[in-house]
Chains A and B, each alone.
Chain A
Amino acid sequence: MKLTFAIQGGDFIHAGHPSSEVKKVLKQLNIDNKIIKNVVIALYEAEVNVVAHAYSGTVNVEIDENKITILVTDEGPGIPDIDLAMKPGYSTASKSVQEMGFGAGMGLPNIKKNTDEMWLETEVGKGTKVKMLNYFS
């Protein structure tokens, strides 16, 4: 089954909607609570990344019997140095974003920690694609 959501850059108020909806579905599918938690945390981080850095984005979720694959695509500045971005604590978030309690530099590291597989594709000046995969068992 598939789910699609749109994310608006800069809209911190509504960040978290896709992850809540995905959680609702996973709960109804009798998925282990710990796995649901991992998926929700990873997706929420990815959402906040789009909200904090990009102009707009989409979340495409695909769920089958054994796994959930989430593709978050954004139109934004892209990531100049992926290795640096993956480093815990490294952040390029603006001061105003950090004042709102975001941008602690844990986004990508947290996604990696909470997924079974993760791919990152980015083009500076164009945008970023994050693909996350979690198995149900």
Chain B
Amino acid sequence: MTEQTQYHALKVDAIKCIGCTHCMKSCPTEAIRVIKGLAVIDHESCVDCGQCHRVCPTNAFYVEQDDLAKIRGFKYRVILFPSIMIGQFPEKYSENQIYEGLMKIGFTHVYEVEQPLQLLIDSVKEYCANPVNTKPAISAYCPAIIRLIQSRYPSLTENIILRKAPYDLAAHFAIERFMLEGAQRDEIGLFYATPCIAKIASVKSPGGERESIVDGIINMNHLYNEVMKVISEDEAEDHSIQRQNLSSEGVLWSLTRGESRNFGSRSMAIDGIHNVVRFLERLENDQVKGIDFLELRACDQSCAGGILLTGNRFMNVERLERRARRYPLAKDIPFSNIKVDVEKLKQKLIIDSIHPKPVFIFGKDRIKAMEKIDRAQRIVCFLPGIDCGACGAPNCHALADDMVNNKAKMSDCIFLQQMWEDEGRITPNKAFLNVQKKWGTNRFKADCNKKGRRNEGF
């Protein structure tokens, strides 16, 4: 297995970050430390779930995206987005008005990705029916979950269904359709609007995971803003031809139970990264029996709760559920609507393999790792055990691990420092300087404008 640094979409803005530890405490893989008063992400452990982005009170996390101006270079300018995009707009705008808004900002074609979904449903069913494949089969839909399994639950990598997500389905479908119309591949610009940070990372990761099929990726909330600037209150043209393969299942796919309701005789859907972590722990211990299909999503309410989505997740869900009722079932949409070579498209849905990428925080040498774990266990005895985070690590165990990895010192723990001061082992001045070094001088200033001041609770 080759070691490659994965691409990560999340960055920390050093000016906005105040090192408040909210992100560090909520990270499901303990990938964040506060160093010199700033949140620092460990890229080996990060799975791009975006939990830190969600809880940050100062919006210090930002996400790299492609410039919308990039679309100008193409003849066919296609915006691909999961159906969830429609759910965030105010009720009064119809699907056609939203489609028209997207075309006003420069796109020539609008494609919701969950079409033609029956192909994917069939393909996943085929996969699950094959007795060779490990049960319970875990959907490969959520990219943050795939990374979580690869790094934290490597033994479950073999349970992941080797079938791509609607994103790939629609991208290939769009390409085939335009080529059929006589377009050249380099005339087609595919842009994907994402509700999700992990998707950006998985699309942009170099090698290994996949070749990027899209030419650009745009944050969904950015696109929402752009459309809201130009959207018209007037009756829009009928664009329904562009969604003639969209089904009821397709509209619901990105919501919780969107997949699981279609597969398996006993299926489960779990949303929220912390819930998924607790469940995978059980699954790995072989304490989950008889389940054949698992839909696991990093965000609460699945993609409706995506980091880059505007509006309230529950309202998004409600709008989509109502919308789904107006669409036919996937099996009732004639294959003749698809027009392109169905078999070829089906081939494109197959993922060759997904490899485990375990993270060894103490290194790969077993004897050294054992010594380190032993030492960390002894260190923990001296720490207060209240997981206060004042050391810059999310909990006392993580601090002890950092210490044996030479990434932290005993004096990082303010409790130990206090004790040493009391015992006369260090001077009060030295103790103060230690804390100041960790958190910066600003944390000690009286400042009525700083975040968390009066009347502005987090």
Binds A, one of B292-300, B304-312, B354-362: B354-362
Query: 16 A–B contact pairs at CB < 8 A?
Result: A1-B370, A1-B371, A1-B374, A25-B373, A27-B154, A29-B370, A30-B358, A33-B155, A34-B155, A37-B155, A37-B284, A40-B286, A44-B285, A63-B370, A65-B366, A65-B370
Whether A41 lies near B358 (C-beta < 8 A) is no
CB closest chain-B residue, reference A64: B370
Contact residue among A27, A29, A44 (Cβ-Cβ distance under 8 Å from B287): A44
The yes or no answer to B1 lying at the interface (CB within 8 A) is no
Q: Could you give, for residues 38-75 of chain A, a 1 whenever the CB lies within 8 Å of some chain B CB and a 0 otherwise?
A: 00110010000000000000000001110000000000
Whether A28 lies near B285 (C-beta < 8 A) is no
Residues from chain B with Cβ under 8 Å of A16 in the complex:
285, 287
Closest CB of chain B to A100's CB: distance in Å?
13
Residues from chain B with Cβ under 8 Å of A28 in the complex:
360-362, 369, 373
Whether B370 lies near A33 (C-beta < 8 A) is no
Whether A30 lies near B360 (C-beta < 8 A) is yes
CB closest chain-A residue, reference B371: A1
Given contacts A29-B366, A30-B364, contact A1 B286 (CB under 8 A): no
Minimum-distance CB pairs A-B, first 8: A33-B155, A1-B374, A1-B370, A29-B366, A40-B285, A41-B286, A29-B369, A30-B364
Whether A30 lies near B154 (C-beta < 8 A) is no
Residues from chain A with Cβ under 8 Å of B132 in the complex:
none
Q: Could you give, for residues 207-247 of chain B, a 1 whenever the CB lies within 8 Å of some chain A CB and a 0 otherwise?
A: 00000000000000000000000000000000000000000
Whether A37 lies near B370 (C-beta < 8 A) is no
Residues from chain A with Cβ under 8 Å of B367 in the complex:
65
Residues 1-53 of A at the B interface (beta carbon under 8 Å): 1, 16, 19-20, 23, 25, 27-30, 33-34, 36-37, 40-41, 44
The yes or no answer to B281 lying at the interface (CB within 8 A) is yes
Residues 404-425 of B at the A interface (beta carbon under 8 Å): none
Closest CB of chain A to B152's CB: distance in Å?
8
Name the residue among B154, B284, B367 with the largest chain A CB count within 10 angstroms: B284
Instruction: Give bound CA distance, A25 to B360, whole Å.
Output: 10
Q: How many residues of A are in contact with the other chain, CB < 8 A? A: 20
CB closest chain-B residue, reference A33: B155
Closest CB of chain A to B262's CB: distance in Å?
28
Instruction: Give bound CA distance, A19 to B286, whole Å.
Output: 11
Q: Could you give, for residues 110-131 of chain A, a 1 whenever the CB lies within 8 Å of some chain B CB and a 0 otherwise?
A: 0000000000000000000000
Residues from chain B with Cβ under 8 Å of A64 in the complex:
370
Closest CB of chain A to B357's CB: distance in Å?
13
Instruction: Give bound CA distance, A41 to B105, whole Å.
Output: 57
Whether B155 lies near A36 (C-beta < 8 A) is yes
Instruction: Give bound CA distance, A63 to B374, whole Å.
Output: 11
CB closest chain-A residue, reference B152: A27
CB closest chain-B residue, reference A31: B366
15 extra interface residue pairs, beta carbon distance < 8 Å, beyond A29-B366, A30-B369, A44-B285 = A1-B370, A1-B373, A19-B285, A20-B285, A23-B284, A25-B373, A28-B361, A28-B362, A29-B370, A29-B373, A30-B358, A33-B155, A34-B155, A44-B287, A65-B370
Closest CB of chain A to B217's CB: distance in Å?
33
Closest CB of chain B to A117's CB: distance in Å?
21
Residues 296-340 of B at the A interface (beta carbon under 8 Å): none
Residues from chain B with Cβ under 8 Å of A1 in the complex:
370-371, 373-374, 377
Instruction: Give bound CA distance, A25 to B281, whole Å.
Output: 14
CB closest chain-A residue, reference B158: A33
Instruction: Give bound CA distance, A16 to B371, whole Å.
Output: 25
CB closest chain-B residue, reference A44: B285
Instruction: Give bound CA distance, A64 to B369, whole Å.
Output: 11
Name the residue among B155, B285, B361, B374 with the largest chain A CB count within 10 angstroms: B285
Closest CB of chain A to B421's CB: distance in Å?
33
Closest CB of chain A to B453's CB: distance in Å?
40
Name the residue among A16, A28, A41 with the largest chain B CB count within 10 angstroms: A28
CB closest chain-A residue, reference B362: A28
Whether A33 lies near B154 (C-beta < 8 A) is yes
Whether B358 lies near A27 (C-beta < 8 A) is yes
Residues 66-101 of A at the B interface (beta carbon under 8 Å): none
Instruction: Give bound CA distance, A16 to B358, whole Å.
Output: 23
Residues from chain B with Cβ under 8 Å of A41 in the complex:
285-286
Closest CB of chain B to A22's CB: distance in Å?
10
Closest CB of chain B to A80's CB: distance in Å?
29
Residues from chain B with Cβ under 8 Å of A29 in the complex:
366, 369-370, 373
Instruction: Give bound CA distance, A44 to B155, whole Å.
Output: 18
Residues from chain B with Cβ under 8 Å of A20 in the complex:
281, 285
Residues from chain A with Cβ under 8 Å of B358 in the complex:
27, 30
Residues from chain A with Cβ under 8 Å of B285 in the complex:
16, 19-20, 23, 40-41, 44
CB closest chain-B residue, reference A110: B286
Closest CB of chain B to A44's CB: distance in Å?
6
